[in-house]
């Protein structure tokens, strides 16, 4: 019966090119690409799209869906989600099309086309075998809401990436719409080109809304919460201080309006993440009370995404300005777009007094611990160039660890060279004023441009710590601001982990930094952790399992199951305690020199 219903639905869709649609194609004829998305028809988990076109030519014969999108650094191949694709002429007759590659459909007589009609599946509930779409970059279509990320719903005729777009959304009248796009009196949302629609996610449905003025900019928050656990005004109240801290950090916000979109829901397969855009950002998190979300770091996540209004909105290369949706070319400057942004998200909170210095230094320690888990001779430049590859994806997470640390070191070096008058914040703000959203920098010359804009010594810094992966001068640079750094130190605490180190990568848990006692048992660094005491273990259960293990008394044993070379092995491990040795410790010097103190005072504030 379900199969028959599905066939009937497809029949209705394919025969829906009624005379009224053709009449509307005539009516909507313009130089714009005019899209209509029917969100009233949600039963099959497909977005049903009508594209009304005019004056297509032979060079527009290929219809292109996106292979990826700016800021994702991952192949998505949205053509995999297309379920139907049909073109019609003015008489309502079909025009032959051919699926010629994963993301491309060829139209036989584009000059005759007035309507392109297709359906594309939502990504959240559609399984793919590889290159899964990040949850925050995908689409959802349910009874009480819809999430649209432009590259996952819209395509464009080749040669028309820069053509203006108009989008009409058909949806239940009680739904609320959240987006940074502007809506005209005709009911259409306007985007200046395809890049703009991809840059402007849309969340609509049973939403709550709140707004606030921050330094003259209108900040809007829209929230979908499956069980009404999180309201938009609660979010805004909880993060108001970090929004003002961001405005102080950037000397006022460079946008008149900014939109935060939140989706909270608990599903078995549900991931979590956030994606920045020039005038908005989208967040997809498991649902929890606002107090829990704040403890989980929603403030820092928002601070990170919000700072992207500077990098890359104000400062970006031509590769970002003219993004290639067919075959993207990775930029060399992820250190700027993501590393500097993550550094800014943390230090702006410390400088605004939202976290104290000790907490900030602890955050930097955690980033160094995270950096230890990645390949140490893999430079930030190499990470950037290979970000779309399988090898690059394994190292990609380090842009938020090593990338942020390198930005912090660059800040100290700039402060030192300027006599405490000009750090990375000040240089970034100056570059934002020099370039702005409409003027990209030259991709291949930006290291040179940045050096000329600052000091000759910065060229050596770039060569050592971004272009290459030389050991970071943590002790040397920390000393400049009167902070002592130790790679290892005895914390005076008791280590109850029984010599087991755990790391998370490639969606699994692995043993690392094993004590010699456990190595003598036969365990190996790199073993995949499969279970404890016969209980299967995952990223979701690891905290509970190890909390239970920590309650064991010294001398008690537990069973540890690992997977190695496709085989499972179980070892009996004895619980023991020892002095806890920590890594990457920062300590503020009690008696710094006048020079160190002066540089530290400059480092602690927005100049």
Tens of pLDDT, residues 39-64 = 999 989 999 999 999 889 999 999 99
Point out the least confidently predicted range of 19-28, 94-103, 159-168, 334-343. Answer: 19-28
Q: Is 291 exposed, middle or buried (0-12, 13-18, 19+ CB in 10 A)?
A: exposed
Task: Map 326-393 to HEC letters.
Answer: CCCCCCCCHHHHHHHHHHHHHHHHHHCCCCCHHHHHHHHHHHHHHHCCCCCCCCHHHHHHCCCCHHHH
Cα angle, residue 408 at apex, residues 323 and 369 outer, rounded to 5°: 95
Q: What average pLDDT does the segment 390-402 reach? A: 91
DSSP 62-80: EEE--S--TTT-S---GGG
Point out the least confidently predicted range of 14-28, 99-113, 230-244. Answer: 14-28
Equal CATH topology for 209-480 and 497-576: no
Model pLDDT, residue 541? 74
pLDDT band at 103 (very low <50, low <70, confident <90, very high): very high
> Which tens digit of pLDDT belongs to each residue from 447-488?
999 999 999 999 999 999 999 999 999 999 999 999 999 998
Question: Does domain 209-480 match CATH 1.10.10.10?
Answer: no
Q: Which fold has domain 497-576?
A: Pdz3 Domain (2.30.42)
198 and 186 Cβ atoms separated by less than 8 Å: no
197 and 69 Cβ atoms separated by less than 8 Å: no
Q: What average pLDDT does the segment 418-442 reach? A: 95
Q: Which residue has the higher pLDDT, 578 or 535?
A: 535
> Which tens digit of pLDDT belongs to each residue from 297-331?
999 999 999 999 898 889 999 998 889 999 888 89
Task: Give residue limits of the domains in the chain.
Answer: 2-205, 209-480, 497-576
Give dist(CA 53, CA 43) in Å, integer.
27
> Which tens digit of pLDDT belongs to each residue from 480-526?
999 999 998 877 676 666 667 777 776 788 888 777 777 778 888 88
> Which tens digit of pLDDT belongs to each residue from 244-283?
999 999 999 889 999 999 999 997 566 789 999 989 999 9
Mean of per-residue pLDDT scores for the chain: 90
Token pair listed for 575: 């619980």
234 and 274 Cβ atoms separated by less than 8 Å: no
Sign of the dihedral through C-alpha 125, 128, 129, 130? negative
Token pair listed for 169: 């959304």
- My answer on whether omega of the bond before 119 falls inside 30° of 0, hence cis, is no
Give dist(CA 520, CA 574) in Å, integer.
12
- The CATH code of domain 2-205 reads 2.60.40.3650
User: pTM of the predicted model, to two decimals?
Assistant: 0.82
216 and 252 Cβ atoms separated by less than 8 Å: yes
pLDDT band at 142 (very low <50, low <70, confident <90, very high): very high
Give dist(CA 458, CA 470) in Å, integer.
15
Closest CA to 168 of 40, 332, 309: 40
352 and 244 Cβ atoms separated by less than 8 Å: yes
pLDDT band at 65 (very low <50, low <70, confident <90, very high): very high
Give dist(CA 474, CA 387) in Å, integer.
26
pLDDT band at 575 (very low <50, low <70, confident <90, very high): confident
Give dist(CA 404, CA 367) in Å, integer.
8
Residue 136, pLDDT > 60, answer yes
């Amino acid at each position: 019966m379900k199969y028959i219903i599905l066939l009937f639905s497809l029949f209705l869709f394919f025969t829906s090119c009624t005379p009224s649609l053709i009449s509307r194609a005539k009516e909507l004829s313009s130089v714009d690409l005019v899209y209509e998305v029917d969100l009233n028809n949600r039963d099959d988990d497909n977005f049903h799209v009508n594209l009304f076109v005019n004056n297509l030519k032979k060079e527009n014969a290929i219809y292109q869906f996106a292979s990826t999108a700016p800021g994702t650094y991952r192949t998505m191949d949205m053509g995999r989600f297309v379920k139907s694709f049909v073109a019609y002429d003015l008489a309502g007759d079909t025009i032959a099309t051919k699926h010629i590659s994963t993301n491309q459909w060829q139209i036989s007589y584009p000059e005759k086309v007035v309507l392109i009609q297709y359906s594309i599946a939502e990504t959240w509930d559609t399984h793919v075998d590889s290159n899964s779409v990040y949850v925050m970059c995908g689409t959802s279509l349910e009874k009480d809401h819809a999430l649209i990320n432009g590259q996952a719903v819209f395509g464009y005729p080749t040669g028309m990436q820069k053509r203006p777009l108009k989008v009409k959304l058909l949806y239940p009248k009680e739904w609320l719409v959240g987006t940074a796009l502007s809506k005209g009196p005709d009911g259409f949302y306007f985007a200046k080109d395809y890049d703009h629609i991809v840059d402007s996610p849309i969340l609509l449905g049973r939403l709550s809304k709140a707004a606030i003025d921050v330094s003259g900019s209108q900040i809007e928050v829209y929230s979908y919460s499956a069980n009404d656990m999180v309201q938009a005004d609660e979010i805004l109240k909880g993060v108001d201080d970090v929004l003002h801290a961001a405005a102080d950090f950037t000397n006022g916000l460079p946008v008149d309006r900014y939109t935060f979109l939140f989706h909270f829901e608990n599903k078995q397969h549900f991931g979590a993440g956030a994606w920045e855009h020039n005038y908005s950002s989208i967040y997809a998190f498991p649902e929890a009370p606002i107090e829990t979300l704040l403890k989980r770091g929603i403030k820092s996540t928002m601070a990170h995404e919000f700072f992207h209004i500077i990098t890359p909105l104000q400062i970006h290369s031509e590769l970002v300005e003219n993004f290639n949706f067919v075959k993207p070319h990775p930029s060399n400057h992820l250190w700027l777009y993501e590393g500097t942004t993550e550094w800014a998200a943390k230090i702006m909170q410390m400088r605004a007094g939202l976290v104290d210095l000790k907490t900030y230094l602890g955050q930097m320690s955690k980033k160094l611990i995270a950096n230890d888990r990645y390949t140490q001779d893999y430079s930030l430049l190499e990470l950037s160039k290979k970000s779309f590859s399988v090898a690059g994806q394994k190292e990609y997470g380090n842009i938020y660890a090593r990338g942020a640390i390198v930005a912090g070191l660059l800040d100290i070096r700039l402060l030192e060279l300027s006599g405490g008058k000009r750090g990375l914040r000040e240089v970034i703000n100056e570059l934002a004023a020099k370039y702005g959203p409409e003027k990209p920098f030259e991709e291949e010359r930006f290291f040179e441009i940045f050096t000329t804009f600052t000091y000759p010594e910065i060229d050596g810094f770039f060569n050592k710590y971004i272009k290459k992966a030389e050991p970071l001068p943590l002790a040397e640079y920390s000393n400049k601001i009167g902070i002592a750094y130790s790679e290892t130190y005895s914390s005076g605490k008791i280590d109850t982990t029984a010599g087991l180190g755990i790391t998370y990568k490639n969606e699994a848990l692995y043993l690392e930094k094993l004590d010699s006692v456990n190595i003598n048992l036969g365990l190996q660094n790199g073993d995949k952790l499969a279970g404890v005491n016969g209980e299967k273990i995952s990223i979701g259960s690891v905290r509970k399992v190890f909390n239970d293990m920590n309650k064991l008394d010294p001398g008690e044993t537990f069973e540890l199951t690992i997977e190695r070379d496709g085989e499972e092995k179980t070892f009996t491990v004895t619980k023991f305690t020892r002095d806890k040795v920590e890594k990457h410790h920062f300590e503020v010097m009690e008696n710094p020199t006048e020079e160190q103190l002066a540089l530290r005072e400059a480092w602690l504030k927005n100049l």
